Amino acid sequence: MNKVVCGTTSPNHPLEILKDDLLKAIGEYEIADVTESNAKRQDLVSLDQNPIKSNATTENSKSTIRPRILTGDRPTGKLHLGHYVGSLANRVKLQDEYEEFIMIADVQALTDNYDNPQKVRDNVLEVAMDYLAVGIDPLKTTIFIQSQIPEIAELTIFFMNLVTHAQVLRNPTVKTEIIEKGFADSTPFGFVAYPVSQAADILFLKASLVPVGNDQAPMLELADEIGQRFNKIGVGSDSIKTIWGVGYKLY
């Protein structure tokens, strides 16, 4: 077998990496093959039951269901000490307390790296290896790649009809980042619309908690508003759980 299944992405979209590429990246360590039967474990369910089901959910199915937490990083370079102090060390602790999902946000990274997609591709594996290196356990935490979940892109398209261009541009976080990046009149529409994509990231997963800084609070407010509008229109058979709560705790 020349491919390795790394953790869980989606029941229909496992993350497979060429074994030779992985060996080249991490050195000559022994990598166990994943058998066909093991790759199709019973803990994976179809998307009509749940967007993603983690290993942690299965292991704790007989105990109290833990709150679901979503966090992640843009693969634009190797993670560094600042990432470890700011978030990675905390994620290692959280994986024992929550049903933790970590997203490698490659689609979002393209919004300001559209002219260098290879940079994003190359760093997906780098970021995944950094997660493993600091102690994030794929048996406890579900690591997935944003672009490998087509349902996120589909939901983003629907959500775009629920907000106006002016509404997104009034978002203080978006306004500040446009200035910082020097986009001016050449701002890619994908960058302007990334808060809508971020809402899809959160709502498709039905996350209970999304750790963010104060600068990201407007993003959560928009996600909550989109969820409420979606439910009011009554699209589909299931309602989307709104997410805004005190101290950015979602419910």
For the stretch 63-121, pLDDT in tens is 578 899 999 999 999 898 888 988 999 999 999 999 999 999 999 999 889 899 999 99
- Report H helices in the chain: 19-26, 36-39, 55-59, 81-83, 89-94, 106-109, 117-134, 150-160, 165-169, 172-180, 189-192, 194-205, 217-233
Q: What pLDDT shows up at residue 218?
A: 86
d(CA 147, CA 131): 18
Cα 233–Cα 107–Cα 197 angle in degrees, nearest 5? 20
Whether 44 shows a pLDDT value over 70: the answer reads no
d(CA 101, CA 106): 15
The answer to whether 124 touches 73, Cβ cutoff 8 Å, is: no
Whether 136 shows a pLDDT value over 90: the answer reads yes
Higher pLDDT, 20 or 60: 20
d(CA 33, CA 44): 19
Q: What is the share, in percent, of the chain residues with pLDDT greater than 90?
A: 37
- What pTM, to 2 d.p., does this model score? 0.68
Residues 200-211 have a mean pLDDT of 90
d(CA 119, CA 67): 34
Q: What pLDDT shows up at residue 241?
A: 55
Q: What pLDDT shows up at residue 122?
A: 94
Whether 193 shows a pLDDT value over 70: the answer reads yes
Q: What pLDDT shows up at residue 18?
A: 55
Q: What pLDDT shows up at residue 169?
A: 87
Q: What pLDDT shows up at residue 143?
A: 96
- Tell me if the domain spanning 149-251 has CATH number 3.40.50.620: yes
Q: What pLDDT shows up at residue 20?
A: 58
Average predicted confidence (pLDDT) for the chain: 75
What is the pLDDT confidence band of residue 231, given thresholds at 50, 70 and 90? confident
